[in-house]
A and B are shown apart, each in its own frame.
Chain A
């Protein structure tokens, strides 16, 4: 009977369970070699990707290849186990980050295949809901009792802050009213402030006079100044 390479399709859970069962009478002797290991999470560059199910990883020593059965198409190459595993993890990380922010209609046919492999093995919803948002925000210290305890963002929203949430030694010296620019990590679901990973004092924003403001707005122009076009 002919034998051919087929594209990988992740088996439904009930099939996986059957496949993973220990064979009656054969014991676990088949699971003892050092080239294979079970990977229950993927850690790379300080990130942890949640896997939907434990995956079977193999290192082929003669070719220096690291492959994971479920991640069809991804190969890590290196002289040692660790180097090949790192190369594999980076290739998955790069592909995932490249495709994560694309909409489905933006995918090419090849990207769609890659995303199918990635999303069927990485729990994308859990990843999104556990990966903090990082945003640049402007604000000022509102309360100091005796150390900064509340900040007000430039949209008027006030938020409590604990010194231990700020990665800057001198934040404790900020006085009430001190304006700043900060890089903030927030919970992606509740948008609650998690940490301020970078903060710097800035000078007081200058207030334009009413005349200067009108002048500036005029210089920007509006759609009225655009040439006529046939948009119909």
Chain B
């Protein structure tokens, strides 16, 4: 099922690596070397750092305690002029994000095509022992128009969302539901979250954030064809889950393409 107005706003692929056995720390020189070939494609960047505080006390009554402060680099991020393609490198982590822009709608195919050379370069530069996990992520933003009553029925749009009876609870004003699902077609769970999120008042809509994260765990290989094969399986599975989780009323909001007519 394809749509003229798909709700997807971001697709990204993330990879967790088993480090090279000689690794001593997150090597910033290697990061610079790795990012260098992509500076033209992704000219803007930032570094995220975190500070960890640790207090040691010798006894419960000892208030003097010694304080240790550790600074750590979380990740490097590089992006293009429109911030629609983002490459992120962390300690044994790599992700490539494609965000919705005026020119392009994100998709698995685009994310995979853009991530492929970045993954190959990562393997070349960092020489990890293996890829531990490869995860495909989708983020959908769904705006449901509010009728004159100012209320909608959750079940009309998300038939499998857990619900509460109107009596005695009343009206829901915000919620968040998370699922961890044992995927039947590939090792590794599917994480799914449905939650309400704020929308501009004048739009008169209820806005939902629907996240999909399919992790292919225990990949344990550097044969990239095998990794992409697992991603393809994850994508097909997620696509099926997406169309099943939403009601026809919701799918109609995305203006489905009549495939019979098109073929």
Contact = CB atoms under 8 A, between A and B. Distances in A.
A25 B197 contact: no
B249 interface: no
23 contacts: A1-B169, A2-B151, A2-B153, A3-B151, A3-B154, A4-B151, A6-B173, A6-B174, A23-B178, A26-B178, A29-B213, A30-B193, A32-B95, A33-B139, A33-B211, A34-B86, A34-B99, A35-B99, A60-B9, A61-B99, A65-B200, A67-B199, A80-B82
- Report the interface size class on chain B: 35 or more
B11 to A, nearest CB: 10
A79 B164 CA distance: 39
B235 interface: no
Contacts of A25: 180
A26 B180 contact: yes
A6 B172 CA distance: 9
Nearest to B150: A4
Interface of A: 1-6, 8, 23, 25-26, 29-30, 32-35, 58, 60-62, 65, 67, 69, 72-73, 75, 79-82
Interface string B107-118: 000000000000
B191 A30 contact: yes
Which 4 pairs between the two chains have the least Cβ-Cβ distance? Answer: A6-B173, A61-B100, A2-B151, A75-B200
A181 to B, nearest CB: 45
A69 B197 contact: yes
Q: For chain A, what secondary structure do more than half of its interface residues adopt (helix, strand, loop), or is it mixed?
A: loop
Contacts of B12: 32-34
B132 interface: no
Given A3-B152, A29-B215, 13 more contacts: A1-B172, A30-B193, A32-B14, A33-B137, A34-B10, A58-B197, A61-B10, A61-B84, A61-B101, A67-B199, A69-B197, A79-B102, A82-B83
Given A1-B172, A29-B135, A30-B211, A8 B9 contact: no
Given A33-B139, A35-B139, A61 B173 contact: no
B206 A33 contact: no
Contacts of B184: none
A21 to B, nearest CB: 12
A2 B164 CA distance: 9
Contact of B146 (A5, A32, A60, A73): A5
B153 to A, nearest CB: 6
A60 B173 CA distance: 21
Nearest to A37: B48
Contacts of A30: 178, 191, 193, 211, 213
Contacts of B193: 30
Contact of A2 (B10, B102, B171, B199): B171
B180 A1 contact: no
A58 B198 CA distance: 9
